[in-house]
Amino acid sequence: MSVNEEQLNLFLGKMVNELGAAATGALVMLGDRLGLYKAISEAGPLTAAEIANHTGTSERYVREWAACQAASGYINYDGESDRFSMSPEQKLVLSDENSPFLMTGGYFSVASLYADEPRLEAAFRSGSGIAWSDHNACLFCGTAKFFRPGYQANLISAWLPALDGVVEKLKRGAKVADVGCGFGSSTIIMAKAFPESEFIGFDIHEESIRHAREEAEKLKVQNVTFQLGAAKSYPGKGYDLVTFFDCLHDMGDPQGAARHVLSTLNDDGSWMVVEPFANDSLHENLNPVGRVYYAFSTAVCVPASLSQESGAALGAQAGEKRLREVIMGGGFSRFRRATQTPFNLILEARP
């Protein structure tokens, strides 16, 4: 075998970088949980001792953590003052809880991938699935934490206005089902924005429904309720709007879900399907965003679908063409891409 040393060294360098990123992930979670990023962001530049004092943590651990973060480029270090700081851009990604660019939630979900690796190995060997509820709990809180900033930034300002006449209905007072609501972030954001409308969040995961109810109570949002319910059997009729946020591809029978949605909508209703952004071919998805989504698709989305009935296993990179086939196959007569972001496809289906 002939080896190109230059190419080998380049690939080794890439893998050293990848290993460093993988090892640093747990420390990103610690920085978020312990308020280390927040302390540097709000009070920095700080020495390691000052960060520890601000957060009630051990200086020796903080110094090593901060060194790793600086080596990663996540925070900055000034050798003359021995202090750590964060740029405005680093703050938006790592410490600002209201930023649409906050990325820390993704690391909590990544932690679940490592914790669940033995289950995934068994699934690879047997072809069986892994139910959503069987994953490590980091997945549930991480999913909510990762997706919430994007929903907060886009849902009310861009996604709902891109739908045909939906905002006007919501302002007047509409009946809305948010299916696969998880911790209820999307449902609560909509309910707060449109107090005249009634929102019901459905999910098959009991712990997520409990958390969603607690969050709505804490925020004193009165026009929202949360119930256990599956995509093919959630109760109610005459909905003006049904929403699926990042969940259709996880379902065992997405076409069956589409048929049920159609049966619960009123004649002038709308179905908004938000899915991970993907092009229609594998080649077009070989990019950084596709890489993240294929990773979670392999470890979470495909196993979730295969754990259910027919197990269509669309995967998180199904693409608009395949999603159109599923939705139109459920009996809808109109389908279009309403809008998009680098991370999302926002699809609208009408009866």
Tokens for 297, please give them: 């698709």
**Type of residue at 336:** R
Predicted pLDDT of residue 311: 82
Q: Is 25 exposed, middle or buried (0-12, 13-18, 19+ CB in 10 A)?
A: middle
CA gap 319, 19 in Å, rounded: 30
How does pLDDT run across 134-159, given as a tens digit for each residue?
Answer: 999 889 889 999 999 999 999 999 99
- What was the pLDDT predicted at 297? 96
Write down the pLDDT at residue 67: 98
pTM over 0.75: yes
pLDDT, one tens digit per residue, over 182-203 is 999 999 999 999 999 999 999 9
pLDDT (0 to 100) of residue 310: 80
pLDDT tens profile 84-131 = 999 999 999 999 988 999 999 999 999 999 999 999 999 999 999 999
- Quote the CA–CA distance of 302 and 320 in Å, as a whole number: 17
Residue 8 in this model has a pLDDT that exceeds 90: yes
Closest to 62 measured CA to CA, from 81, 82, 80, 79: 82
Residues 270, 167: Cα–Cα separation, whole Å: 11
Mean pLDDT calculated for residue range 206-213: 96
Condensed to tens digits (0 to 9), the pLDDT of residues 35-87 reads 999 999 999 999 999 999 999 999 999 999 999 999 999 999 999 999 999 99
Residue 309 confidence (pLDDT) = 83
User: φ and ψ at 252, to 5 degrees?
Assistant: -70, -35
Task: Please report, as a single letter, which amino acid is at residue 116.
Answer: D
Please name the CATH architecture into which domain 5-96 falls. Answer: Orthogonal Bundle (1.10)
The single residue listed with the structure tokens 């712990």 is 207
Question: CB of 291 within 8 A of CB of 346?
Answer: no
Q: For CATH 3.40.50.150, list the domain ranges present in the chain.
A: 105-350
Q: What percent of the chain has pLDDT over 70?
A: 100
Bond preceding residue 45 cis, omega within 30 of 0: yes
- Which 3-state string (H, E, C) describes 179-215? ECCCCCHHHHHHHHHCCCCEEEEEECCHHHHHHHHHH
Q: Tell me the per-residue pLDDT of 298-330, one tens digit each, with 9 for 90 and over.
A: 999 999 999 998 889 999 999 999 999 999 999
Mean confidence (pLDDT) of the chain: 96
pLDDT of 39 reads 98
Residue 247 has pLDDT above 90, yes or no: yes
DSSP string, 54-107: HHT--HHHHHHHHHHHHHHTSSEEETTTTEEE--HHHHHHHT-TT-TT--HHHH
Q: What is the pLDDT of residue 224?
A: 98
Q: Does the pLDDT of residue 347 top 90, yes or no?
A: yes
Sign of CA dihedral 29, 93, 345, 298: negative
Q: Is residue 1 over pLDDT 90?
A: no
**pLDDT grade for 346, boundaries at 50, 70 and 90:** very high
The residues near 193 (Cβ < 8 Å, ≥ 6 apart) are: 156, 170
From-to residues of CATH 1.10.10.10 in the chain: 5-96
User: How many CB atoms within 10 Å of residue 181?
Assistant: 28
105-350, superfamily in CATH?
A: Vaccinia Virus protein VP39 (3.40.50.150)
In a 10 Å sphere around its CB, with 0-12 CB exposed, 13-18 middle and 19+ buried, how is residue 295 labelled? middle
